[in-house]
Every structure is written in C-alpha cells, then in structure tokens.
C-alpha cells in the first residue's frame, strides 16, 4: 500500500496540496486514527470475493484500505471537489469506482448490479452525521443484498440502534434497525480521532443483516406505522398513543381487546414493548380492522 492516508500529517499534506476547505454542512470530519481505521476494516470481515460500498470517501482514507481488503469497492461521494483528490489518492487501485452522487438520491440497485454482480456486499463508512438515519434506513428498506453495515455514527445514534426495551434510547429507530439486523458496538471513538475534530463523540457500530427479519409480520407498513404511533408521545401510555395516532382509527374497546389478545397491558409505555410484542399487536390490530 502507498502511504496510509489516515496518518494526520499525510491527511494535512493532501488537504493543503489540493487547497481543500472542509464543509461542516457535508459532515466533513476525516479520520486520522489508524487504530480506529483497523477496527472498522476488521469488523467488516472483507475478503477478495466480497464487495464494499463506502458512502462519503472524503480523501480516500478508508477507501484505500477497502481496496486492499475487498474484491470491488464502490465509493459514493457527494462533494465534487473531492473527485480530483480521490483520482490522485486512489490512482494505484483498479478495483474501485468513485460515483459522484448524493447517496440518498442514488439508484443503489442499479449500482449494485453494475459493480457487485454476484458478490456479497458490506457497507463500510464513516457517515456524514447530518444524514445518518436516512442513509441507514435507505440501506435497510431498499432490501439490498447486504451482509453487514459497519459505520461510524454519532454515539447517541449508535446507542439508539443497539438499545434494549425499557430505556430512554429505545425507540422507532431501534425497532427498524433490529427488525432487519443484529447490532453490536465495535468501539467508541473520541473527537481527537478526526480532522477537524467534531464536537460530538462517535461510535463504530456493526449491523449484521439478518437472512429474514427478526419477527414475522403480515404487513410491514402497518407494523412500522404501529411502532411510530406508539412512540409519538413517549410519556403517554400505549393505549393513549394508539387512540391518538393509529390510522385507520379503532374504537377504545377494539384497542383494548386487541391488546388483551396480544397479551399486552395497555397501560404500558411504547418503549417497554419488544419487537415480538409489536409484531403480535400489529397482527391483532390488523385483524380488528376487517
Ligand atoms: N470516509 C472519509 C473518512 O473517513 O475520513 C470521510 C468521512 S466524512 C465524515 C463524510 C463524507 O461524506 C464526506 O466526504 C462528505 O463529503 C460525504 N457526504 C456528505 N453527504 C453525503 C451524501 N449525501 N452522499 C454521499 N456522500 C456524502
């Protein structure tokens, strides 16, 4: 490998040479900590048969290591100023394609077909924090053929993804992430691991994509609508939230009967229900609608 870009003085030299100005609005905090980089790459468990999708390659710090470990690398970068930097820093690799796009608008199915045909793919990225949740939800909801998602995110977001029922971190994001994946925290990351240092702590989290969702539900849209409705006002009881937010509306008696059939006490709060309980409740509420 060429000089590791993760080295702070190498990063500084490239930033200066290309007269690159960091844009806070694009979440541009580049990784300069080799130990953290090694942990990210190790958690992704890549081999030469696998593909790696990186979102936001920056100057190519993580991309360089992915090119060494994976068979094919696709890096989607929104900032066109970084394209000429990446053309230079990745010039020695012929297994990488840099795609200029906002990942939220990119047709990932088409890109996967073009670049990863037949390969198992892991997403490996140091995400821009201003769009972490929409990016992760897009990756999950589009049901791409993914093996895992190993991402650097803001510490609080990682804690919400990996939360257990009953705590303040447990919410609609937890349920969506755990429906599709098994999360595990890889490591905590201090502000000093980035250039420039962000003013929040970070965490690397691994989301191992499940072969089939964690619970069986007949109607996914309704299941996620129920979850959202149950967390609409966190301090209120489940019954209150269902009365106020569930669509189509059900009479109180019908709600109580559905809770009883699902074995769920209606005075509980939404944050105490497990995925299995939400699945049961969704089935019973759906049945009450017909
Ligand atoms: N991967 C590099 C690293 O680890 O040093 C840079 C990570 S930096 C936290 C986030 C990167 O995401 C930046 O390169 C930024 O320009 C890019 N980015 C921001 N919003 C994006 C979007 N919507 N789609 C694709 N890339 C985006």
- Where does a domain end: 159, 174, 209? 209
Q: Between helices 238-245 and 252-262, what is the axis angle to 10°? A: 130
CATH (domain of 262): 1.10.8.100
Count how many Cα atoms sit within 13 Å of the Cα of residue 133 in the half-sphere of its side chain: 12
Known binding site: residues?
29, 31, 56, 77, 102, 126
pLDDT of amino acid 87: 98
In a domain, 118, yes or no: yes
Ligand 1, atom 17, lies closest to the CA of 56
This prediction's pTM: 0.97
Report yes or no for ipTM above 0.90.
yes
% of the chain exceeding 70 in pLDDT? 99
- Strand, coil or helix: 199: coil
- How many structural domains is the chain composed of? 2
In 25-91, beta strands by DSSP E: 30-31, 51-55, 72-77
Q: Quick check: 41 pLDDT over 90? A: yes
Task: Band the pLDDT of 118: cuts 50, 70, 90.
Answer: confident
Best residue among 78, 90, 135, 157 to mutate for probing ligand 1's pocket (most ligand atoms within 8 Å of CB) is 78
- Where does a domain end: 186, 209, 232? 209
User: 32 and 115 share a domain?
Assistant: yes
Mean pLDDT computed over 107-125: 96
pLDDT of amino acid 228: 97
User: 199 and 252 share a domain?
Assistant: no
Domain interval for residue 47: 8-209
pLDDT for 251-264, tens place per residue? Answer: 999 999 999 999 99
User: 283 and 189 share a domain?
Assistant: no
Ligand 1, atom 23, lies closest to the CA of 102
Q: Quick check: 163 pLDDT over 80? A: yes
Q: Quick check: 102 pLDDT over 90? A: yes
From ligand 1's centre to the CA of 143, what distance in Å?
22
User: 87 and 172 share a domain?
Assistant: yes
pLDDT of amino acid 113: 97
Beta strands 51-55 and 30-31 are unpaired
Task: Band the pLDDT of 1: cuts 50, 70, 90.
Answer: low
Best residue among 40, 58, 151 to mutate for probing ligand 1's pocket (most ligand atoms within 8 Å of CB) is 58
Mean pLDDT computed over 139-166: 97
Mean pLDDT computed over 39-67: 98
In a domain, 215, yes or no: no
Task: Band the pLDDT of 3: cuts 50, 70, 90.
Answer: confident
Q: Quick check: 152 pLDDT over 80? A: yes
Mean pLDDT of the chain: 97
Helix-then-strand count for the chain, H and E: 12, 9
């Amino acid at each position: 490998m060429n000089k590791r870009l993760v080295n702070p003085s190498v990063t500084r030299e490239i930033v200066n040479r290309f007269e690159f100005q960091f844009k806070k609005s694009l979440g541009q905090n580049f990784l300069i900590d080799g130990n953290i980089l090694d942990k990210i790459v190790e958690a992704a468990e890549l081999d030469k048969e696998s593909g790696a999708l990186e979102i936001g390659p920056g100057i190519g710090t993580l991309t360089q290591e992915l090119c060494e470990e994976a068979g094919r690398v696709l890096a989607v970068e929104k900032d066109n100023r970084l394209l000429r930097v990446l053309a230079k820093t990745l010039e020695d690799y012929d297994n990488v394609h840099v795609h200029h796009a906002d990942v939220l608008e990119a047709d990932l199915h088409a890109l996967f077909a073009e670049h990863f045909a037949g390969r198992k793919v892991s997403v490996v990225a140091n995400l821009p924090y201003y769009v972490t949740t929409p990016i992760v939800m897009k990756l999950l909801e589009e049901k791409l053929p993914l093996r895992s998602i190993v991402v650097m995110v803001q510490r609080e977001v990682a804690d919400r993804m990996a939360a257990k029922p009953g705590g303040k971190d447990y919410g609609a994001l937890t349920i969506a992430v755990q429906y599709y994946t098994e999360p595990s925290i890889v490591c905590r990351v201090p502000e000093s691991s980035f250039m420039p240092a962000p003013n929040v702590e970070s965490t690397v989290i691994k989301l191992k994509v499940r072969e089939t969702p964690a619970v069986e539900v007949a109607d996914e849209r309704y299941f996620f609508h129920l979850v959202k409705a149950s967390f609409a006002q966190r301090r209120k009881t489940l019954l209150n939230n269902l009365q106020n937010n569930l669509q189509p509306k059900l009479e109180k008696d019908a709600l109580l009967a559905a809770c009883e059939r699902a074995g769920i006490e209606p005075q509980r709060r939404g944050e105490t229900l497990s995925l299995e309980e939400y699945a049961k409740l969704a089935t019973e509420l759906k049945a009450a609608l017909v």
